[in-house]
Amino acid sequence: MITVVVADDHDLVRMGIVRMLSDAPNVEVLAQAATGEEAVKLCRQLQPDIVLMDVRMPGIGGLAATRKIAAFDPNIKVIALSAYPNDPFPTKVIQAGAKGFITKAATPDQMLDALRKVNSGQRYISPEVAQDMALKPFSQSPDESPFAQLSERELQIAMMIIACDKVPDIAEKLSISTKTVNSYRYRLFEKLEIKGDVELALLAVRYGLIEDGLE
């Protein structure tokens, strides 16, 4: 039996995944989470075999939650789940300790295949994402995402800014000072060659990190 925690902040998506997994043989959904913090807490309490982790969620987000889970219990395997298959998400979340990455366009059979392979100790990355990651070192395309150059913390704060979190709220959620948040904010703006939050959001739309009008 493979025990699973499903973490996604969109109720319909999360419930759809849970419903699909409930019909699968030898798979048991132990709990659901809507934030990175909830996912970490549930993993400490329930020690599931696998967490299906949405990369983008409120609070600390899926990236930081993945790193925390990998740090306190490497036996809990994280499969990252995202509607955004482009870099920097696949690379960053694998670096954070995830054992798999699948897109929300995956079929039920692909998701179950990912669960079984990761549970057996293998890695699983959606074919289209794996191909893109394999070719990335050889590609010098001018359209390559500038977000790929950000550190994990810079990307995390960038996504929180895009989600309209204010600096004091970001500082509280990440347990750092507002001064530190502003330092990261300045640094990521400098790397991305932008001057403000609006330009950041537009850049995120341009490179597929968010969908125009949906975030």
Rounded Cα gap, residues 84 and 88, in angstroms: 9
CB atoms within 10 A of CB 34: 18
Q: Tell me the one-letter amino acid at 160.
A: M
**Range among 51-60, 112-121, 152-161 with highest mean pLDDT value:** 112-121
- The residues, any chain, with a CB within 8 Å of residue 210's CB and separated by 6 or more, are 84, 162, 201, 204
pLDDT, residue 119, reads 94
Residues paired with 78 in a beta bridge: 51
pLDDT digits (tens, 9 = 90+) for 147-171: 888 888 888 898 888 888 899 999 9
H helix runs in the chain, sequence order? 11-22, 36-46, 61-72, 89-95, 108-119, 127-135, 152-162, 167-174, 178-192, 197-206
pLDDT band at 136 (very low <50, low <70, confident <90, very high): low
pLDDT, residue 87, reads 61
Residue 162 near residue 198 (C-beta atoms within 8 A): no
Instruction: Identify the three-state secondary structure at position 29.
Output: strand
Residue 124 host element (H or E):
strand 124-125
Q: Where in the chain is the domain with CATH 3.40.50.2300?
A: 2-136
Q: Does the domain at residues 146-206 carry the CATH identifier 3.40.50.970?
A: no
Rounded Cα gap, residues 75 and 80, in angstroms: 16
pLDDT at 83 over 60: yes
Topology (CATH level 3) of domain 2-136 = Rossmann fold (3.40.50)
